[in-house]
A and B are shown apart, each in its own frame.
Chain A
C-alpha cells in the first residue's frame, strides 16, 4: 500500500500524515505541488492539512492552481482514491472534486480541540471499519470549517450516502462547533473515491495523544 501526500507551500500536516500511514505499515511519499503527474503506483493520495499559500484569498483557493491539482483531477476521474484532511478538504472543494465550500467558522474563532463525531455512512472505503452511529473522538483545528452547500446539493449528498461524519457530543447528539450545514464534518463524492473532512484522524493514532480513533478510519484505505 503506497500513500502519496501532497505538499503545498504552507502545508504543515504532511509529516503527521506520513507518520500515521507509516504506523499502519504503508509506504509513503511526499508529492511536491509542482509535480505534474501522480506516480502510477499510488493507492491513495492525501491532500494534507495546513495553510496552503497562507490561506490567502480563500483557504485552498490558490493551491487549486498548482500543477499537481490537474494531475490529481485526472487521477480521481480515473477512480484513484483521494483523501483531503482539513486544508486538504478545502482544496478539494475549491477544485470541484468535492461539492460545497468551507466558510469562516460561524463564531469567527479558530477552533483547536478534540471533538466527537458520529459516523453517518460506512458503505465506503474510508469508514468501512467504523459502525454507523459510532462516535469517535478526533481533533479539529480550523478557522474555515463551516461547511456550506445549497439545499439541492444537500439532498443529493443524503440521497447518495455521501455524508460521512457529523459533529456531535460524546453521546452522539448533534453539537455543531462551526456552523456547518447539518453539522457536517466530512463528505465524499458520488463515486465514493474522493473523501474530505475537517477533523484530523492522523492526529488521533495513539492513546498517548488522547485518542486512537483515527486508526480505524485510516485503516479503511488499506487493502480496500
Chain B
C-alpha cells in the first residue's frame, strides 16, 4: 500500500515560492497563470493492507512530523 501526502502552506499564509514562480511564469508570457502554490509531495510505501488504518497512521505521521500544522495543511491519498 502506498500513501501520497501533499503538504501545502495554509490559505492566508504567504507562499513566497509560489509567488516567485508565478511572477517568473507571467514574465515569460504565460498570461493565463492566475496563481501558483508550491508544496511538497511525500510518497510512503507501507506494510499495511487496510486502507483506512493506513490513512489513520499517515495522518498521525503528518501531525507528528510531515507537516507543521501552524503553517501547513496536508492531504493524504492511499493507493493500493
Q: For the complex, give the distance between the alpha carbons of A88 and B65 in Å.
A: 17
Contact pick for B14, options A62, A94, A100, A179, CB 8 Å? A179
Does B66 count as interface, using CB distance less than 8 angstroms? yes
Contact pick for A108, options B13, B20, B65, B71, CB 8 Å? B20
* CB-based contact A101/B71 at 8 Å: yes
* CB-based contact A104/B68 at 8 Å: no
Given the known inter-chain contacts A61-B65, A62-B65, please indicate yes or no for A148 contacting B71, CB distance below 8 A: yes
Does A103 count as interface, using CB distance less than 8 angstroms? yes
Question: Separation in Å of the B61 CB from the closest CB of chain A?
Answer: 11
Contact pick for B68, options A94, A108, A146, A179, CB 8 Å? A94
Question: Separation in Å of the B74 CB from the closest CB of chain A?
Answer: 12
Does B53 count as interface, using CB distance less than 8 angstroms? no
Does B26 count as interface, using CB distance less than 8 angstroms? no
Contact pick for A148, options B13, B17, B64, B66, CB 8 Å? B13
- Nearest CB to that of B66 among chain A residues? A57
Q: For the complex, give the distance between the alpha carbons of A58 and B40 in Å.
A: 11
On chain B, the residues within 8 Å of A108 by CB distance are 16-17, 20
- Nearest CB to that of B70 among chain A residues? A101
On chain B, the residues within 8 Å of A189 by CB distance are none
* CB-based contact B70/A148 at 8 Å: yes
Contact pick for A106, options B9, B16, B66, CB 8 Å? B16
Given the known inter-chain contacts A148-B70, A148-B71, please indicate yes or no for A104 contacting B65, CB distance below 8 A: no
Does A211 count as interface, using CB distance less than 8 angstroms? no
Q: For the complex, give the distance between the alpha carbons of A176 and B16 in Å.
A: 15
Does A131 count as interface, using CB distance less than 8 angstroms? no
Q: Which of B1-57 contact A (CB under 8 A)?
A: 9, 13-14, 16-17, 20
On chain B, the residues within 8 Å of A105 by CB distance are 16
Q: For the complex, give the distance between the alpha carbons of A93 and B20 in Å.
A: 26
Q: For the complex, give the distance between the alpha carbons of A101 and B69 in Å.
A: 9
Does A65 count as interface, using CB distance less than 8 angstroms? yes
Which of A58, A105, A107 neighbours the largest number of chain B CB atoms within 10 Å of its CB?
Answer: A58
On chain B, the residues within 8 Å of A62 by CB distance are 65
- A residues with CB within 8 A of B: 57-58, 61-62, 64-65, 93-94, 99-101, 103-108, 146, 148-150, 179
Please list 5 pairs of residues, one from A and one from B, whose beta carbons are closer than 8 Å in the complex, sorted by A's number: A57-B65, A100-B70, A101-B68, A103-B14, A149-B70
- B residues with CB within 8 A of A: 9, 13-14, 16-17, 20, 64-66, 68, 70-71
- Top 6 A-B residue pairs of the complex, sorted by shortest distance between their CB atoms: A101-B70, A101-B71, A106-B16, A101-B68, A148-B71, A104-B16
